[in-house]
A and B are shown apart, each in its own frame.
Chain A
Amino acid sequence: MSTAAFIITAWVCIGLELGLKDAIALGPNSIAPSFVYCLLTFLAMFSGAPRPTWIAVALGLLMDLTARVPLQDGLGTATLIGPHVLAYVLSVQLITSLRGVVIKRNPLTVGFLAMLGSLVAQVMLVAIYSFRLWWGDAIMAGGGSPSGELVARITSAPYTGLLGVALAFAFFPLSGWLGLAAQSRKR
């Protein structure tokens, strides 16, 4: 896989995540798809081990660096390293396990795997924030009750799946430029 092409694609996707995600959010409960997760799904489907895990680490780190977690008592915001990395690494294991039994060259497959992976990632994120609150960390994730937004986060997963189907039509033509086509032919 071309590292330069990956960096440029990740840069555009995180730009879409920060600039466009709230515009396509449904209702007031932050039900929104993830552009970055769709990219992760696509790359994980076509990269050889252990590259999908490295990509999950890189994209998770990028998400952690650009997320702002409010602190309790109005003490500002914090940048937390780790939650998205762990969630993405765990969920990408599911994608790499399932990619052998699906028809890879189908946009619906990208959507399906993005939905499943996103579901795992969101549940993992809620678990991490809940654990931090349990031992008394001063974060205000999910208004102080991360489990309260579990439904909204789970509902975001099918939405990410839908976006994955749409983005697959852009990602497949880019696979040659990303250096994925040769790899997928080799295997």
Chain B
Amino acid sequence: MISPTFTSRLLPTVIAVCALLALATPVRWQSWARPLGQLATAVIAPVSHPFAALSRWIAPADDSPAQTERVRELESRLEEAQRELERVRFENRRLVLSLEELNVMAVVNTSPVRQVYAPIFASSSDLSSRIVRARAGRSQGVEVNSIATAAGLQLLGRVVAVDAFTCDILPFNAKSAESINAIIIIKGSDGGLSCRLTPVGNGSLKGPVHDRRDPTNALALVPEVGQLVRLSDGRWPSVAQMMLVGRVVAVESSPDGPLRQIVTVSPTVERIERVAEVVIRTNATSPDVSEKDSPKAGPGVGGPR
């Protein structure tokens, strides 16, 4: 039996240690806490997952009217085809430039993609980080920097931490996420307009558009509300290129120069962090990934695309 005197003496010590850890210990010296956090998450997951599923059923990510399964499937296929077209165009331009500059054959990254369907089972207890946690981890081939997408190839974010059975996804539109380079797709124009988008904190992204003229008629390309915006950022994996970032919702003149444009982009899926399930795309050549190792192998794990 622990005496009350002992607990009374222990309490100031515990608080002092916590104060030291909270205020004066660099984050890299607290890596030992991560396994404890994973353990705590594993213990809490059985109760948090039903609540998360219930809340996402009551308030789903997309507020659009109910669609039939067939329409949703066709829209998904259309988006996949459009994304593939843009990716091939982008790749084509890159290769032409590479060939011109280097005069050698460029090596194209043709590594196949593995898709893992993962339910969201919790968010961080401190909502300010906007991190969501999915039930798929290293055992399913998920790695740090794997890409998470929502319905219709809408980019959700990237995996920033992974353990055996779960992973942390930082949405690309979270305030703590980094800026991204993207391309505004302009119909009838070859190439579109590149822009650098920074998360604002309210779910949308904002940033300047680089001036460009249409090579066919020398007219300046202008961004318009409603145009699609796709990722084109070398710091993201190749599997993420030309994924849908969102749609232009506002265009305004830059305060630094009236001829420069600033666009505001919002994801096509409203409240994107509220999706119930994500598709995590990772290289199919991930080490030590086999169907028998994966507890969700089968219907949950997609094969190479």
Contacts and interface: CB of A to CB of B under 8 A. Distances in A.
B52 interface: yes
B142 to A, nearest CB: 13
A50 B15 CA distance: 13
A80 B22 contact: yes
Nearest to A78: B27
Given A69-B129, A77-B160, A139-B27, A20 B55 contact: yes
Interface residues on A, range: 35 or more
8 contacts: A20-B51, A23-B59, A57-B15, A65-B41, A70-B174, A143-B174, A143-B176, A149-B128
Nearest to A126: B128
A85 B18 contact: yes
Chain B: number of interface residues, binned into ranges = 35 or more
B128 A28 contact: no
A67 B51 contact: no
Given A64-B33, A68-B129, A153-B128, 10 more contacts: A18-B122, A22-B127, A22-B273, A30-B128, A50-B7, A70-B129, A78-B31, A82-B23, A89-B15, A137-B27
Contacts of A66: 37, 40-41, 44, 122, 124-125
Interface string A99-131: 000000000000000000000000001001001
A173 B125 CA distance: 27
A12 interface: yes
A138 B27 contact: yes
Interface of B: 7-8, 11, 14-15, 18-23, 25-28, 30-31, 33-34, 36-37, 39-41, 43-44, 46-56, 58-59, 121-131, 133, 144, 160-161, 168, 170, 174-178, 199, 201-203, 273-274
Given A54-B11, A69-B129, A81-B22, A138 B202 contact: no
B261 to A, nearest CB: 24
Contacts of B14: 57
A11 B44 contact: yes
A27 B200 CA distance: 14
A23 B58 CA distance: 9
A94 interface: no
A19 B48 CA distance: 5
B28 to A, nearest CB: 7
Contact of A18 (B15, B48, B160): B48
B32 to A, nearest CB: 9
B39 to A, nearest CB: 8
Nearest 10 Cβ contacts at the A-B interface: A82-B22, A19-B51, A15-B47, A143-B175, A23-B55, A79-B37, A18-B122, A19-B52, A82-B21, A28-B202
Given A79-B37, A82-B19, A19 B47 contact: yes
A1 interface: no
A149 to B, nearest CB: 5
A77 B129 contact: yes
Nearest to A61: B18
Contacts of A29: 201-202
A69 B27 contact: yes
A67 B124 contact: yes
Given A23-B56, A81-B18, A82-B23, A76 B44 contact: no
A11 B277 CA distance: 24
A76 B144 contact: yes
A82 B15 CA distance: 9
Contact of B37 (A65, A138, A141, A152): A65
Residue among B25, B40, B199 having the largest count of chain A Cβ atoms under 10 Å: B40
Given A28-B202, A50-B8, A149-B128, A19 B121 contact: yes
A32 to B, nearest CB: 5
A19 B122 contact: yes
A38 interface: no
A38 B52 CA distance: 19
A81 B127 contact: no
A22 B123 contact: yes
A41 interface: no
A108 to B, nearest CB: 26
A71 to B, nearest CB: 7
B22 A18 contact: no
B18 A82 contact: yes
B19 A67 contact: no
Nearest to A23: B55
